[in-house]
Chain A
Amino acid sequence: MTIDKTASLADQLSSFKDPQRRFVVEAMMLRAEHAYREAQQRAVQYGINLPADPDPPSFGELTERYNKLMEEWAPESVTDAGGALAYSDLVAAIVWSELTSSSEGNCRIVSTERDLGYALELLASARRWLNEQDIADVSREARLAGKGGAI
């Protein structure tokens, strides 16, 4: 989201309480933790000492949390532009990791097939919101045209 400098801090922070955006942030965090754990494991394999670094949950735990979260939230209908933007950001993150992981051969939080399935569900949710926007735009234009106003 582009930060509007004219808005108060409280207004801007309130957007982070939106459950759909929170879901996306949590999903991104789990993906990042998974990538971090993998990098940490690789570092240990190469004998790099990381004593002060935090120990993230196990791969299995991260996958379980991620699946639970996605199954609960991905089919949820988006209710505003912020939600649609957040969902599309998560789709981009899924696609980006797909694009980069194949060349590096690293492990994934869920299988490619499942991840793409989630991405499709996220897009379907955003599309439903967009449909409503489209209908609203068309009827507004029709109203304006009916009144003889400019479109």
Chain B
Amino acid sequence: MSTREEEAMRDPLGAGIYQAIACRFFHNYAVIRDYAARRGDVGDLPSALDHAALRQRYDRLIEEHLLERPDTATSVRAFIDFAACVLFDLKLNEILIESSIVGSERDLEEVLTAIQRIGDWVNKKELAEFAAKLRSAAPAT
């Protein structure tokens, strides 16, 4: 990947959102690891991260990034991935009867916030597409 491509990929907002997703995965890892531990040997599985520290980090990431408005497709994709990840967590937790990193009620609120942020950006895009259609349909002067 060239430096220019690497530069184009840089997206601090997306990075923050993906960090929050990583925290969710670490939480799920801890839950499943604990399942194994309760049943016997965990083999050489790495230790789980401390829940309180993970939760603190997650809360900070959400506070810093989830309310921010994404202004590029790259950032919006991170929001979509975040919403999908939380929905996946909700499904998973229903099967395992476990709580997600923040609990199902806040999960749902976070999905709604992410969807709102996605909607804000897509709405702008839609208006731009509509304006472009109008321009192309207008008779040439």
Contact = CB atoms under 8 A, between A and B. Distances in A.
A119 B85 CA distance: 11
Interface centre among B81, B94, B126 (most CB of A within 10 A): B126
A116 B111 CA distance: 11
A126 B123 contact: no
Chain A, interface size: which category? Answer: 35 or more
Nearest to A134: B73
B57 to A, nearest CB: 24
Contacts of A7: 130, 134
A80 interface: yes
Interface string A60-87: 0000000000000000000011101100
A142 B8 contact: yes
Contact of A113 (B94, B105, B128, B131): B94
A88 interface: yes
Contacts of B129: 80-82
B105 A85 contact: no
Given A81-B126, A88-B122, A134-B77, A123 B83 contact: yes
A99 interface: yes
B88 interface: yes
A95 B91 contact: no
Contact of B87 (A11, A116, A137): A116
A124 B94 CA distance: 21
Interface string A103-137: 00000000011001101100110110011011001
Contact of B73 (A89, A98, A116, A133): A133
B4 A85 contact: no
B108 interface: yes
Interface of A: 1-2, 4, 6-7, 11, 15, 80-82, 84-85, 88-89, 91-92, 95-96, 98-99, 102, 112-113, 116-117, 119-120, 123-124, 126-127, 130-131, 133-134, 137-138, 141-142, 145
Given A91-B111, A134-B74, 7 more contacts: A6-B134, A85-B119, A89-B119, A92-B119, A99-B105, A138-B74, A141-B8
Interface of B: 4-5, 8-9, 72-74, 76-77, 80-81, 83-84, 87-88, 90-91, 94-95, 104-105, 108-109, 111-112, 115-116, 118-119, 122-123, 125-131, 133-134
